[in-house]
Amino acid sequence: MTSTGTPATVALTALGIPFVPHPYRHDAGSSAYGIEAAAALGVDPARVLKTLVAAADDRLVVAVVPVSTTLDLKALAAAAGAKRAVLAEPATAERRTGYVIGGISPLGQRARLPLYLDASALGHPTVFVSGGRRGFDIELAPADLLAATGGTAVAIAR
């Protein structure tokens, strides 16, 4: 386990949670960041997770779902105890997490937001999440992701 110096890897190292860093060459022309990561790393897209920031009523939450799926905003709202949920504006997501779009990690965020992990992730021994920048993913056990973030596993993908 090595730290490559992102807030995500620093947070995992401080918690003593094992992870495997996976840098890859990011194509600046690609905006399908998660699918790009899955292809570059040769990993099933169901194991590569995207981190989305949403507004559940009047508070921000984080949703983590496989890149092969879409976020079910109604399910997220229900999980967060809200009437409705909408994706946050990209500038808001970047400001609150401290990361850029395409590199938002569920770990080491500037402000810790309630996190909801799609329950399908628990069916894999390890999953891949952004390591805090485009072209860098972290592989870890889904239970460790929940432990590090204080997250909740719930069905929020379709």
pLDDT beneath 50, residues of the chain: 1-3
Please tell me the predicted confidence (pLDDT) of residue 3. 41
Please tell me the predicted confidence (pLDDT) of residue 27. 86
Amino acid at 91: A
For residues 157 and 116, give the distance between their C-alpha atoms in angstroms, rounded to a whole number. 11
Backbone angles phi, psi at 44, to 5 degrees: -55, 125
Please tell me the predicted confidence (pLDDT) of residue 31. 81
Task: For the domain covering 7-154, report its CATH number.
Answer: 3.90.960.10
Please tell me the predicted confidence (pLDDT) of residue 4. 54
